[in-house]
Structure 1
């Protein structure tokens, strides 16, 4: 992690869960966080849905067919997986563990089902839920995309209600009314969690001992 003295002992990166109903602005916040804060990286999910225009395999998603996805599920390759809008999505266990071991914070953009699985398997995961400012604003955002017919929008509104019902399971809740304010709150969560003793107890113990003269700078 970039915060702190250069000689602070190495510590693993955070695992940050970011969830929200469709239309709440989660993806925009997610992308802005990656640009705004050093040391934060995206987790590239596996999915069985078809690529959208401009999406690249291995960059936006790892695009696989259902047979390959189910094979990886059977092998325990995913930290979490879920079926969303009739397609499968999953997070690679090995990829996340490698990034965290290198000291980088990993952000997962996943729904409540995946978030629940992560919390059960990763004790120190940090979870953030993003809410829209109102039902009217949510509907306007969904309609403003110009991508879906009225039936799909109604389905997404129903799905949004189901997703929102799980907000209380998360560590932090951010209302995305003004984008920059919501982004500032998300950045503050990440930087605040980097300073939490729970996440850095072992590495800070060595650093504090050096400051108190209990061990020399070489660690002896």
Structure 2
């Protein structure tokens, strides 16, 4: 099965585009080590009116520290054949080839969130943000960063027990972070949150979700400083 051919040039239908436009969508993005996943989990626990966008994948469920991923909770798990059939029927909002697997957001998931009348929240990369924004200019994109280059580097080194492995990954992570920071500063629809203190960062994200943003310019300056240090 040629996955590139299957997903190439896919576009959602007009009915689905109209439906996503009726949903309040909040997209958390940011460089690796910013703490997006933790913030997302805490926001979901804080407000029952916010629901996570559950994406689909054709890879098998993984064991995360002794806990198996659950279908319909962590991901929707499909076979490649099932996913290909859904693509042919226009049953995806967004779809991509990720390491030779078909990942995406299904039309059923968009309908679930719309019918529940909840705010949709996702942890997503900047390319995913651009895709959502191209169909729904009303999305809120929140770019999360650590407070400094030094803190970011410490977090990168703590990601593995083996320090050599951490250091060997650093150039790749740094190159990705550079692209992401440059993109965020050029995207005029991005909000910025500095994760220097987790509780404060969560509160700032929550305020942005509820249209009560603040501290934007100070956060933007820190993003600029991070970019300069990364170069």
TM-score by length of 2: 0.68
Find 1:140's aligned residue among 154, 170, 178.
154
- 129-138 or 175-184: bigger deviation: 129-138
* 1:164 aligned residue: 181
CA contact (8 A) 1:78 1:90 kept: yes
Superposition map of 1:58-77 within 5 A? 58-66=72-80, 68-77=82-91
Output the CA distance in 1 between the equivalents of 2:208 and 2:161: 32
Gaps of 5+ in 2: 1-21, 213-231
Contact 2:184–2:190 (8 Å) recurs in 1: no
Q: Max radius of gyration: which structure?
A: 1
Aligned residue for 1:30? 40
Please give the root-mean-square deviation of Cα atoms over the aligned residues, in Å: 2.6
TM-score (norm 1): 0.71
| Displacement of 1:96 | 2.1
Map Cα deviations across residues 183-207 of structure 1 (whole Å, 9 max, x no partner): 11011111227xxxxxxxxxxxxxx
In structure 2, how many angstroms separate the alpha carbons of the residues matched to 1:65 and 1:155? Answer: 31
User: Which of 51, 55, 60 is matched with 1:45 structurally?
Assistant: 55
1:187 to 206, 209, 218: 206
Secondary structure of 1:90 counterpart = strand
Which residues of structure 1 form unaligned runs of 5+? Answer: 1-11, 194-220
What is the match of residue 176 of structure 1?
195
**1:44–1:60: 8 Å Cα contact kept in structure 2?**
yes
Could you say which residue in structure 2 is the equivalent of 1:107? 121
Q: SS at the partner of 2:210?
A: helix
Aligned partners of 1:38, 1:25: CA distance in 2, in Å?
21
Residue 56 to residue 67, structure 1, CA distance change in 2 (3 Å):
same
Q: What CA distance in whole angstroms lies between the structure 1 residues aligned with 2:146 and 2:97? A: 23
- Structure 2 distance, partners of 1:147, 1:115, is 32
